[in-house]
Structure 1
């Protein structure tokens, strides 16, 4: 394994390439192909499925499964991150979660009908844990592979790689799913199931580039045998230190508020567009692809803007745009004769700020970290904040939708969370790495 110094372009590209490797999960599995396949497999009997001795609506069961995976990651990531920091074995943890996720995705190939529903649910949970678990350790490498002045562009490069790779694989998968006869496939379930295999192989295969170049044990730690106890001690030390870091706490609070909006829209926009705006599946797929493609441009553009005006101002611009988009979605009427054009425009607007807010948030948090060897532990709190925001956002979205028998008010409430994030971010004091 080559020993590349911090800031080396080869090391930076290798790190960013993990986004290329694993982003196919978030697009193909979490957003596009698997949800449609799951709905087709479980849609009979009014969508009612039987699991663990209980009847569930199919979408509710899938939602509960994802929420459980987020809660598991939120619980274990600070503990494992502290152990990884203490032992200096961060890359091994990242590899474990990568392989857990990729093998779980490939196992979805065997989810063929409602009779083996447990395969779809169990491996959906494990794949989600693998994806989000590996991301904790991946993100924590940012301050170790790039200098502060590089981190905005490096973070954006990761998301740009991710969006590009995932769009390429999704495009091929969609051709196979929508035109199976071109590949001589007669089984209607086989194209989607082959897609799941391809995602797992793509994820695991391209991750080897990252694993080959990323360093392990950067700080040359020599852990004692009771590393689990010492890991908890490491976690406690970071918790105590975090209490005294006002800027970091304010940023995490703002990040929590606007992540409620961002992550909920990413996960549930498809449901809203189908149910409230009556957009059919083929157009929904075009919207998903449009968001991903424009997000590449957005991540690049806003990383350059942050160079000119600073991270906090840039984040506030993206949050303001997100809030405006929420209100635009709220006021969009399904009966409007230009509804298709309006939805495509909304998709492009979301794409423009999707990659931007994610990449700038990651680099901003990295720049706010104190001089420390506990990067994985600190980034685990970043990850936990995001996961709790997802759980809260998806719950509010569904709960408010159930009360009013419409999802419109749910969208309006998400706009309020963006406003709260903007206000808290405005309370942060100037930082030489974040302000211009």
Structure 2
């Protein structure tokens, strides 16, 4: 249900509405507009990278994932609602708010992922992860659908973009708040507090636990190798997520309503991909599932780059949806299999760190290329697609059985 709740944020703010609004209205369609958007996201992801390991280690040490999740959720909801006040020319207000709201969203994303191994057995972790991603896309569909209904009505009333887009920020924040309530009412904290270093400060203790894990990094060689793989292939995925609406409007000439319909359909195919692959990846294997989706991503990038008519671009977008649901679900499940029981939040913090690093690398590459090429979004998409090829090459060197054995025989669990 939390996946259902928070997915509206990424769908509306990062993928479908606010990103295109930021470039077209707030930045007034300047050549640097896309770069300013990707740079703002990069700052928020860098903040997450700096805080995620300590936050995860602290959550493990004190078994407080749920209270921390509540705090990050509240922060994301409040700052998303405040985006209502970011209008034409309010560049710095928009930048500050998007940094804050995305920081709280990303931190919460790490925390909710750490609950996964507590809720599913090893042999069904892929299926449960797939359910979560699938419901997430349904949540994104619901929120985007509500926004589309309002936008369609506002356009019939003759409202300008700067009038109706801010209201969608309020809609998104409200749905996130209401839909997250079941999580905080019913989800239990099953983890037990870990031994603490007596008399040490909380932050110091958290980084000490992280240092203990990094000392044994060779023991988790498959986890670390997968995290490196994740950085590269997620760089491509995060580029598509953050810039889909911008590409549709700038390269293909879509208007706001067409863009919303496109993202709605993509969310449907993403939900189908997550549910379908969630059921078969435990049998097919998480590694093979990810490899197949990476091949699909490469094909999708080539289709989007070559698309001259909207039919081909729609086909590419829906292929992206299928690959998105499957690759996100399988990646999260694989990290769960590679994580020792006593360090799940910490290792999912490392997973979140890798995803956030990719969220800096991919979109910034796209933004920089589009800037120096004076708005050539096709070239930017093609270049960032190379990250999927790099990820596929690294993936071939990962051994799932060895990674699971390493997690079951955890040398980092020492007396603190």
What's the TM-score once normalised by structure 2's chain length? 0.89
Listed as ranges, the gaps of 5+ residues in structure 2 are 405-416
What is the SS of the residue equivalent to 2:401?
coil
Taking the TM superposition and a 5 Å limit, the aligned residue runs for 1:161-180 are: 161-180=135-154
Tell me which of 368, 373, 382 is aligned to 2:351: 382
1:312-359 Cα shifts (integer Å, max 9, x gaps): 111111111111111222332x2xxxx121111111111111111001
In structure 2, how many angstroms separate the alpha carbons of the residues matched to 1:284 and 1:187? 16
Is 403-412 or 246-255 further displaced after alignment?
403-412
Shift of the 186–350 alpha-carbon distance from structure 1 to 2, 3 Å rule, reads closer
1:355-396 Cα shifts (integer Å, max 9, x gaps): 1100111001111123x3121111111111111112111222
Give the Å deviation of 1:286.
Answer: 2.1
What's the TM-score once normalised by structure 1's chain length? 0.85
Give the Å deviation of 1:159.
Answer: 1.1
In structure 1, how many angstroms separate the alpha carbons of the residues matched to 2:209 and 2:192? 15
Taking the TM superposition and a 5 Å limit, the aligned residue runs for 1:3-402 are: 17-39=1-23, 41-42=25-26, 44=28, 47=30, 57-114=32-89, 116-180=90-154, 189-216=162-189, 218-221=191-194, 223=196, 226=200, 227-332=202-307, 334=308, 339-370=309-340, 372-402=341-371
Give the Å deviation of 1:190.
Answer: 4.4
- Report if aligned partners of 1:152, 1:306 keep a CA contact under 8 Å in 2: yes
Number of paired residues?
A: 401
Shift of the 242–142 alpha-carbon distance from structure 1 to 2, 3 Å rule, reads farther
What is the SS of the residue equivalent to 1:278?
coil
- Report if aligned partners of 1:89, 1:217 keep a CA contact under 8 Å in 2: no
Give the Å deviation of 1:61.
Answer: 2.8
Shift of the 403–169 alpha-carbon distance from structure 1 to 2, 3 Å rule, reads closer
What is the SS of the residue equivalent to 2:188?
coil
1:119-161 Cα shifts (integer Å, max 9, x gaps): 3222211110111010011111111121111211111111111
Is 22-31 or 302-311 further displaced after alignment?
302-311
What is the SS of the residue equivalent to 2:342?
coil
Give the Å deviation of 1:216.
Answer: 2.8
Shift of the 239–29 alpha-carbon distance from structure 1 to 2, 3 Å rule, reads same
In structure 2, how many angstroms separate the alpha carbons of the residues matched to 1:187 and 1:225? 59
Listed as ranges, the gaps of 5+ residues in structure 1 are 1-16, 49-56
Higher RCO, Cα 8 Å, sep 6+: 2
